[in-house]
Amino acid sequence: MTRFGELDHYLFANATHYEIYKKMGAHLGKENGIEGVWFTVWAPNARSVSVIGEFNGWNENADVMKKTGDDGVYEIFVPKAKEGELYKYCIMSQKGELLYKADPYAFSAEMRPGTASKIADIETYQWKDSSWMGQREKNDPQKNPVAIYEVHPGSWKKHPCSDENPDGFYNYEYFAKTLTEYVRAMGYTHVELMGIAEYPYDGSWGYQVTGYYAPTSRFGTPAQFKYLVDYLHRNHIGVILDWVPAHFPKDAHGLADFDGSAVYEYADPRQGEHPDWGTKIFNYGRPEVKNFMLANALFWVEEYHIDGLRVDAVASLLYLDYGKKEGQWIPNKYGGNQNLEAVEFFKHLNSLVTGRNKGVMMIAEESTTWPKVTGDVHDGGLGFTFKWNMGWMHDFLDYMELDPYFRKYNHNKMTFSLTYAYSENYILVLSHDEVVHLKKSMLKKMPGDPAHKFKNLMAGYSFMIGHPGKKLLFMGQDFGQLREWSEQRELDWYLLREKSHEHLQAYFRDLMLVYKKYPALYANDTAEGFEWINADDSERSIYSFIRKSPTGKNNLLFVCNFTPVDRPDYRVGVPKGKQYRLILDSSDVRYGGESKDRKQIYRAVKRECDGREFSIGYNLPGFGVAIFRY
């Protein structure tokens, strides 16, 4: 009997075996009434393949696998193998070399520095998130609030190190409860988890994957990871995973030169290697490789109930010359630098994942001006749900790091993004990449004395929340982490014993509550949903604008002052002669300011300002932000 039949071969060869992980890898089963494990692996250029493990004393000759067809798929049933045991494939190359490879489709892996795969059953977990999953199918992410907390599980919080837990890692179950408590209290709608698919080197943060189908064993078992997702869902929190389809490392046990030849990567290093990263590039011109990653995306979404994939390094796949010098790359058949196979892969990927799973988000980390990243595939687009807005992020940080005196000469850095804000469906991101490698934490980027740093950051976060687009913030930046992030230590939570950090955290939490409460901030991220009141007040470095709800009710007026100069007589033009209710004031004593018992209702008067017939007067403090509802 063979598990991998004629239909499996056909679908695999056409990159349409979307649940191939149910056939490839290690699966508990029975043969002739005897319990054991089926092992199946693709090694198209191998001379021979055997499975070795704890069940056969790692004997290379004990369990030799058989070919199931002409495409290099090998399989075997091993009666003595059982769940929890370690294994690898021993592959003899055409040159006679013996290679010891982890299973590309393994559901679990040995704790690093070990490199073996582990037999695991992922089918027995009893999910309890049916309410969330049912609601997800009805959701339109474009019209819903999306405020993402980006978190690295290994360095969010840690236990004291011990012999039993030398790294101090939280396991998935403990992490679920503590993370959920924090995320709910802060008002985020989603978490984005870094470094979940198995990887060997902590310093890669999970971006050099060796186990694409295995939640990292650093934090527990596949069942425990399902519990984490389940628990977050039951507490109304979505889960996004970092997903790395662009490249993989050269580790001896991984995908590189899998059977002694280029299997998952291009054979020509001008196509198959990133010179700067020292990694291999997936060969998406090969159907079996494309199938491996298409099925992997579905695997996380459908087997682990993941709500979105943040697709890493999209630009590095789209451009054949990405990070390469002349002579290090090969043009496409038309002579251009576009990777046509990657373009087709992304279109297939996004159509497949979102077509089969309504409400799931596909998010591109794409740093160039490639057109229609979030456009419809039938109209030449790539089909992503959202794109990270890297242009906004760079301009925003450049402006925020300036001494306030010089901001008036750089006023357009905060307005330019509105000229392209609706060309894609954007997420505004302040991610982990911006607080490492001597870039400083968000708070440390701010100019001025300590008090001014906190006020600057409050103003910056307010502008971000008011700007069209969904939101993402990396862990620690909502309470003013001082040190740069390091994967080797937990965040500096002790800072919350200081009032200034507590005030910043409280302000950001209240910003999140405003964001989720008012559809004007999330349901209308289009040109119809935003209007400048005054985009040109460069001399005073003040920005005022309105966000409009789809119904016209509960529109919001933002006024943001980016200098330390108080404006006690500040007047702002308003669209209608109505009353305006102050709903958030960054100078409130709750946030470390000096305002208390401030007037809440401001009646517009017929007095021209900012080209408007009506206006309101307001005492605007230095670095002050006021959000009004009307």
Q: CA quadruple 137, 196, 248, 389: dihedral positive or negative? A: positive
- Pick from 436, 480, 437: nearest CA to 458: 480
pLDDT of residue 1: 59
Strands 567-574, 601-603: pairing is unpaired
Q: pLDDT band for position 509 (50/70/90)?
A: very high
Q: For the segment 414-434, what is each residue's pLDDT rounded down to a tens digit?
A: 999 999 999 999 999 999 999
pLDDT mean over 443-447: 98
pLDDT of 148 reads: 98
Peptide bond into 113 cis (omega under 30): yes
User: What is d(CA 257, CA 157) in angstroms, rounded to the nearest whole number?
Assistant: 37
Quote the CA–CA distance of 226 and 587 in Å, as a whole number: 43
In degrees, rounded to 5, the angle at the alpha carbon of residue 142 between the alpha carbons of residues 183 and 347 is 110
Q: How many angstroms separate the CA atoms of 431 and 242, rounded?
A: 12
- Euclidean distance between CA atoms 512 and 518, whole angstroms: 10
Contacts of 134 (CB under 8 A, 6+ apart): none
Q: Is 312 a catalytic residue?
A: yes
Whole-angstrom distance, CA of residue 207 vs CA of residue 196: 9
Q: Which of 365, 510, 585, 588 is catalytic?
A: 365
**Beta partners for 400?**
none
Give 319's DSSP letter. Answer: B
Torsion region of 41: left, alpha or beta (phi above 0 gives left; psi -120 to 50 gives alpha): beta
Cα 264 from Cα 248, distance rounded (Å):
9
24 closest CA partner among 4, 52, 46, 51: 4
- Residue 193 is classified by DSSP as E
Residue with tokens 């985020």: 188
Please report, as a single letter, which amino acid is at residue 363.
Answer: I
The three-state secondary structure class of 248 is strand
Supply the DSSP symbol for 57. Answer: T
d(CA 178, CA 176): 6
Q: How far is CA 619 from CA 197, 570, 595, 626, in A?
A: 51, 6, 10, 10
pLDDT-derived band at 359, boundaries 50, 70, 90: very high
Q: For the whole model, what pTM was predicted?
A: 0.96
Q: Quick one: tokens of 537?
A: 């007040």
Angle, vertex CA 301, rays to CA 138 and CA 259, nearest 5: 160
The per-residue pLDDT of the chain, averaged, comes to 96
Where are the chain's structural domains? 6-118, 149-388
| pLDDT per residue as tens digits for the range 260-271 | 999 999 999 999
**Residue 207 near residue 258, CB atoms below 8 Å:** no
Residue 537 has pLDDT above 80, yes or no: yes
Q: What angle do CA 227, 229, 235 make, to 5 degrees?
A: 100
Query: Residue 303 has what DSSP assignment?
Result: I
What is the fold of 149-388? TIM Barrel (3.20.20)
For residue 583, the model assigns a pLDDT of: 97
pLDDT digits (tens, 9 = 90+) for 190-249: 999 999 999 999 999 999 999 999 999 999 999 999 999 999 999 999 999 999 999 999
* Domain 6-118 coded CATH 2.40.128.130: no
Instruction: Give the amino acid at 232.
Output: L
Q: Residue 74 pairs with which residues in a beta bridge?
A: 41, 67
Token reading at 358: 């309504």
The CA distance from 577 to 463, in Å, is 25
Out of 103, 303, 312, 395, pick the active-site residue. 312
Distance between CA atoms of 320 and 342, rounded to whole angstroms? 10
pLDDT of residue 596: 78
- Show the tokens assigned to 472: 């993402």
Residue 8 falls in the annotated catalytic set: no
What's the pLDDT band for 598 if we cut at 50, 70, 90? confident
- Compute the distance between CA of residue 557 and CA of residue 627 in angstroms, rounded to an integer: 6
Closest CA to 290 of 20, 559, 554: 20
SS (H, E, C) 69-127: CCCCEEEEEECCCCCCCEEEEEEECCCCCEEEECCCCCCEECCCCCCCEECCCCCCCCC
Tokens 């698919």 -> residue: 197
Of 482, 514, 492, the closest CA to residue 586 belongs to: 514
Beta-carbon count within 10 A of 606 CB: 8
Look at residue 597 and tell me whether its pLDDT is greater than 80: no
Helix and strand numbers (H, E) in the chain are 14, 30
Percentage of the chain beyond pLDDT 70 is: 100
Q: What length does the chain have?
A: 630
**pLDDT tens digits for 298-342?**
999 999 999 999 999 999 999 999 999 999 999 999 999 999 999
Q: Tell me the pLDDT tens digit for each residue of 115-125.
A: 999 999 999 99
**How confident is the model over 283-299, as pLDDT tens digits?**
999 999 999 999 999 99
